[in-house]
Structure 1
């Protein structure tokens, strides 16, 4: 019960749920205008990765870092919230890919990999008392993820997103990123933040 109370109060759900809401709206756009799938679907999956990042924003990180519970229990609880958000994002990616008649497993894998990458970086920064790592990681993720789309349109390069079925090599690479991201985030969260002594 304490974990539920903490997650309800401490996690900035507004940012995460807003990302998922926009992602859901993009699915409707893709369904109505299929020609936009090349940009709409990548943008949608980037938003699902960004949603997981907001789970690690903690304005009072300097306060929680001087308590034993705050060094391990809080990061693990936030990681659980991020995992739930990432799984929800993967579900949206599957639904969107199904509407676009694309490989659903590739898009779900991409969503989980982006969520895992966001999580491990956010937990690492949280260990160093960065108060709101998720917000700027989410922004950087979306901007970096949209850059290849722009370049692909300008110089006619193949999109890095699975608009065409991934090869086994690409699929293995993204699966490795997903596993390493979530396992690394779990290891860092379980290790806990270095306990800081309160300043007099």
Structure 2
């Protein structure tokens, strides 16, 4: 049994929770391997392995650095055009480097967070966003619905108008515990007091228990 399997077994025995240092949303993941790397080889390098999310998400990645988990809209410049990862993270800068998101004026080298940005109700990683508008909705119309608007990430399927954060439901597929049944509807799931997230495929649970406090 590999390390991830052991961790998940522990999670299941303790209730809803997860290994925080490996619970990293795709947009924040930093490569720690190569295409085809095995879970065993990845973990032997002190990295995390999670193959539950398809569609280009990194499966072997570095453990969480929460001070660098900042979405593009909230990043403060710490470099210049075409700066390298080595220069950005090293020397006197010691900044964060993340090239995962593409969009107009997205900063790849940015200052570490003091924690205030990520606590905002609109600081929601794409994988957790719940639709709150429609294709082409304007920022004005979105905000008038008391929703969040963030068009800084110009990747396929990323929602720009979405509901404010529901932190207890920000659980990646690998860590979700079933809270429904096959074919359960969103309404039935939420009536049970559970979380609903249909943003991921590949057998991921869409109806699952909330995170423990």
User: Which interval holds the TM-score relative to the shorter structure?
Assistant: under 0.3
Question: Relative to total residues, which structure has the larger helix share, 1 or 2?
Answer: 1
Relative contact order: is structure 1 or structure 2 higher (C-alpha 8 Å, sep ≥ 6)? 1
Question: Relative to total residues, which structure has the larger strand share, 1 or 2?
Answer: 2
Give the TM-score normalised by the residue count of structure 2. Answer: 0.22
